Chains A and B, each alone.
Chain A
């Protein structure tokens, strides 16, 4: 029974194993980044970045045609430029992070559409650039796993300054020179995870796995460590369940995975002990327990 439902799809088909491995990699790599994004109130960054990388991808396309490598590198460069410029503006002027990011991603998107149109081709660049979780080849898997390892290592190195920066950026800036370095390293991680995720899994998967589990974890844990652990667990559960649903009920995989994460978020919202709806409606339980 359990064998048929859970194990057999992965035992029989290589693409299912690859999809699962890709999902695990992005769960481990991108979800902690999503937790920090949420804590810094930057949860919409992912969607903005999906648009910001267009001009880079377009330039990559103009230089070397439909080469995924060139388009990914181009997208990475464009995403970095937008992230760093908006980070720079946030730190140097009075404009807030969300507004400066919005400004730069819109400029970037417009530039991208312009470049694509001058070439006059109608092949949808975004479609070509964005992959699907069912078509992970070796190169895509290596890319995903490398990015996951890199972001876990970097987060471990910068954990303290990052946590401080989330809590009180002004304080970190006053006591340490690491503040700027931390900020830009973090933005680099965001772009790296997103572009890698877009390339391998598609926009919805990359942004969804980054943000939804983090939002769900918010209702279960208080400390950053607990948040990250819960978020990774939710992400992996959603990946496995979503893939199996896609297999057994013939649903498109990306949306299935993200919807399972969405259901997990909905349940956490209601049942979560930390500020969930039920906990708020019956606050006495806390005292009795």
Chain B
């Protein structure tokens, strides 16, 4: 009985597959298997794909993708996936080995491929300051152009010194911290999902439209929140360098004792410079992050008399009960926390 039924099933499936022929994937009710490398990408894929995708997120809420160790379950999820969504810009250093090990043969989507990356500067203080300065005088497109220009200038320099930067690449990978970039991410992901599952492409593009509308509304909301911050309070101290894109978009300067990766170790000079900076600019609050060790920052706050203003979410969502369960919640939570601590 059992075997006859399965035979019958597979026969009908075969006929269905043959009759569709052209697109490689047969029309079934099975959702598209998608693997996203970390929680923010996973949330985006879920929003766009809806019920038509089954998303597996490798680095879950409150996890740190900088130092993630892949598990066999992750390798299996990747090998079974039809679409793999990664951030790119050398954010997931462990990814290539995982793909090699799991004979993945689906479509690989690099979400940040089309964004304009910010070049990583050793002397990031100068860099971000120049960036936000630029931004104040220009409107939107011009600011992006200025950033592009900037990046071209730095590019030569980085081609020479690129290997100095160890496993983080020449560019800041935290591109999702800009809502402008988020639209680029969403477009890239939507196109990839539509290609992998053409039958549901209509739904994907519909979801994309409403998602992008929400993103743009949030952008306006954040501009309003940030606009109230006086110029003297636009320098913000966090644990690691993850907010350069956010700072560029909204004219804020971010300083951090740790570099781009949470894995790096701070030097005494960097900490000393940061303390001087805090004293000089009269910074009243510093901010810890959900995925980084807060002890160094607490120590700095203690020494300068600044308070801990709250927890920011740079690169991982919180659990469902936390303040940032989705990407949009996270992007709203960060400036709200900043404004609450610095505003008055």
Contacts and interface: CB of A to CB of B under 8 A. Distances in A.
B160 interface: no
A134 B273 CA distance: 13
A13 B300 CA distance: 10
Contacts of A124: 64, 67
B60 A120 contact: yes
Contacts of B59: 122
Contacts of B101: none
B275 A13 contact: yes
Given A12-B272, A15-B300, A16-B272, A121 B267 contact: no
A122 B267 contact: no
A30 interface: no
B267 A250 contact: yes
A127 B266 CA distance: 14
A137 B308 CA distance: 15
Contacts of B115: none
Contacts of A254: 265
B124 to A, nearest CB: 13
B71 interface: yes
Contacts of B299: 15, 18, 134-137
A14 interface: yes
A13 B64 contact: no
A128 interface: yes
A16 B60 CA distance: 37
B267 A253 contact: yes
A253 B291 contact: no
Contacts of B68: 122
Given A122-B63, A246-B269, A252-B267, A15 B291 contact: no
Contacts, number: 93
A79 to B, nearest CB: 21
A253 B303 contact: no
B269 A250 contact: yes
A127 B59 CA distance: 16
Interface string B307-336: 000000000000000000000000000000
Interface string B14-58: 000000000000000000000000000000000000000000000
B296 interface: yes
Interface in A127-158: 127-128, 131-132, 134-137
B302 interface: yes
A254 B269 CA distance: 13
B62 interface: yes
Contacts of A255: 265
B295 A137 contact: yes
B298 interface: yes
Nearest to B296: A135
A247 interface: yes
B152 interface: no
7 contacts: A19-B268, A122-B65, A122-B68, A127-B263, A134-B268, A246-B267, A255-B265
Closest 7 CB pairs of A and B: A122-B63, A252-B265, A135-B296, A250-B269, A246-B268, A247-B268, A135-B295
Given A13-B272, A122-B67, 13 more contacts: A15-B271, A15-B299, A121-B62, A122-B68, A127-B262, A127-B263, A134-B266, A134-B268, A135-B299, A246-B269, A247-B269, A250-B269, A253-B266
Interface of A: 9, 12-16, 18-19, 117, 120-124, 127-128, 131-132, 134-137, 243, 246-256
